Amino acid sequence: MPEIGIGIIGGGYMGKAHSVAMSAVGAVFNTGLRPRLEMICATTPESAERYRVAYGFARGTDDWMELVRDDRVEAIVIASPQSTHRPIAEAAIALGKPVLCEKPLGASLADSRAMVDAAEAAGVVNMVGFNYIRTPASQFARRLIADGEIGDVTWFRGEHTEDFLADPDAPATWRTQGVANGTIGDLAPHMVNGALALIGPIAEVMADIETVHRTRPGGDVTNDDHAQVMCRFEGGVMGNLYFSRVATGRKMGYAYEVSGTKGSIRFDQEDQNALWLYRREGPEASRGFTKILTGPAHPDYEPFCQGPGHGTGYQDQIIIEAKDFLQAIETGQQVWPTFRDGHAVNCVLAAALKSSETRQWQSVLND
């Protein structure tokens, strides 16, 4: 089978996840293109060499431009900070190389808009790494909603809640500095993407964004801890979103509830292999939410395991992303979510920030 040389920029948390995914995706999904781990880039030669050895790359570098320009690197994964996304993506796109970029897309609306324009003008395959919506359960939820299984959607509630900064005595770090590293920049993009995927475009928002712990040992906090957002989707559906890094007890609270005229859906990422479905049918006395355990009948499950209820995990979401990226490259057909979809998320969050400042409803301007 034909190989494709993969270059990954960033060797930390997500760099490792993408490296493992590219190593495994060919065996899991029997992809037409088989990734070859060609080069990894990190901030120093020493860390690049450490990641090269640990993850199995042929070469390492501390110069992302060297990686992008290398002829044996045929597709690029950007797993570095948001401030680096735009220059790396533009350089890769100029050379006609496909790009998978971690969320959120760029460090600003100007960045994501420029990345969309560059990718679409060049006709280059482009994707954004929103992994949580790719669980078999959430893919099945999308299908149920699209097929009208719960009727006309009337309401949506979504959250992304964690507690890694719930302790007020936790020290100030890079995570407590700058809008890009706050809850709106870090956690919110995942659930906004989920809301757009499940329900559709958001027309307007009313937001309240707050820093709960304004000082921490070692310094002041310059970004937000949590945010609540009322929203109205373009299709008329009412929605509510909540994001928090101080939600004590929540570890991976990517959760949503969708109400429809014929039924409802509930999902919680902390139990990612289950979807709760209510159908408004049959005798009232026997109605209730049914817990559906994911299995081979659900999207992208069977390649991992033939046993229902055995489950998939976080790393498997990244492997599914890798499969989608390779499929787009092989077929030449873009696969959701593209840079344009990533920019749409940024537009919603920009409107939320403006709403919190003005204390007014704001239209989402997706230019």
> What confidence tens digit (pLDDT) does each residue in 27-45 have?
999 999 999 999 999 999 9
Q: Which helix (H) or strand (E) holds 101?
A: strand 99-102
Residue 367 has pLDDT above 90, yes or no: no
> What confidence tens digit (pLDDT) does each residue in 66-107 have?
999 999 999 999 999 999 999 999 999 999 999 999 999 999
The pLDDT, as a whole number, for residue 94 is: 98
> What confidence tens digit (pLDDT) does each residue in 202-239 have?
999 999 999 999 999 999 999 999 999 999 999 999 99
Residue 190 has pLDDT above 90, yes or no: yes
Q: What letters, b where the CB count within 10 A reaches 16 and e where it falls short, cover 179-192?
A: bbbbbbbbbbbbbb
Q: Give Cβ neighbours of residue 103 (< 8 Å, ≥ 6 apart).
A: 128, 129, 130, 189, 190, 193, 342, 345
Q: Which helix (H) or strand (E) holds 216?
A: strand 215-216
> What confidence tens digit (pLDDT) does each residue in 339-360 have?
999 999 999 999 999 999 999 9
Cα separation, 313 vs 357, whole angstroms: 38
Q: What is the mean pLDDT of residues 152-181?
A: 96
> What confidence tens digit (pLDDT) does each residue in 285-333 have?
999 999 999 999 999 999 999 999 999 999 999 999 999 999 999 999 9
The pLDDT, as a whole number, for residue 366 is: 83
Strand 215-216 and strand 219-220: pairing? antiparallel
Q: What is the mean pLDDT of residues 131-151?
A: 98
Strand 219-220 and strand 226-233: pairing? unpaired
Q: Measuring CA to CA, how many Å separate 82 from each of 74, 87, 92, 138?
A: 22, 10, 16, 26
Token pair for 102: 């971690």
On the question of a cis peptide bond just before residue 337, with omega within 30 degrees of 0, the verdict is: yes
Residue 252 has pLDDT above 90, yes or no: yes
The pLDDT, as a whole number, for residue 222 is: 97
Residue 129 has pLDDT above 90, yes or no: yes
Q: Measuring CA to CA, how many Å separate 283 from each of 81, 279, 280, 287?
A: 54, 11, 9, 7
Cα separation, 25 vs 22, whole angstroms: 5
Cα separation, 93 vs 119, whole angstroms: 6
The pLDDT, as a whole number, for residue 134 is: 97
Instruction: Tell me 176's DSSP state.
Output: G
- pTM given for the model: 0.96
Average pLDDT, the chain: 97
The pLDDT, as a whole number, for residue 177 is: 95
Domains of the chain: 3-130 (3.40.50.720), 133-305+345-358 (3.30.360.10)
Q: Which helix (H) or strand (E) holds 54?
A: helix 45-55
